[in-house]
Amino acid sequence: MGAVGGLINNGFSGLTNSFKIMVGGFYLDENASFFGAAAKGISRYTWEYLQTSVGYSYTQVRNAFGSSIDRVDYLGGATYATNESSRHEQGITMGSYINIDQWGYIAGDFESYATSNPLYMHEYGHTIDSRAKGPSYLYIVGIPSLISASSSKKIRGTFLTTHKTKPYEKRANRNAFKYFSKHYGVSWSARYDYYGEWTTIDKVYPL
Residue whose C-alpha is closest to residue 54's, from 97, 86, 109: 97
Model pLDDT for residues 23-37, shown as the tens digit of each residue: 999 999 999 999 999
In this model, does residue 50 exceed pLDDT 50?
Answer: yes
Residue 3: the pLDDT is 73
Residue 188: the pLDDT is 65
In this model, does residue 140 exceed pLDDT 50?
Answer: yes
- Judging by DSSP bridges, how do beta strands 97-101 and 78-83 pair with one another? parallel
| 8 Å CB contact between 156 and 108 | no
10 confidence band (pLDDT: 50, 70, 90) = confident
| 8 Å CB contact between 60 and 72 | no
Number of structural domains found in the chain: 1
Total-model pTM: 0.88
Pairwise CA distance, residues 66 & 83, whole Å: 10
- Judging by DSSP bridges, how do beta strands 90-94 and 97-101 pair with one another? antiparallel
CB burial of residue 33 (10 Å; 0-12, 13-18, 19+): exposed
In this model, does residue 201 exceed pLDDT 70?
Answer: no
What does 126-174 look like in DSSP terms, one character per residue? HHHHHHHHGGGHIIIIIHHHHHHHHT--BPTTSS-BTGGGSHHHHHHHH
Residue 67: the pLDDT is 67
Q: Which domain holds residue 135?
A: 2-204
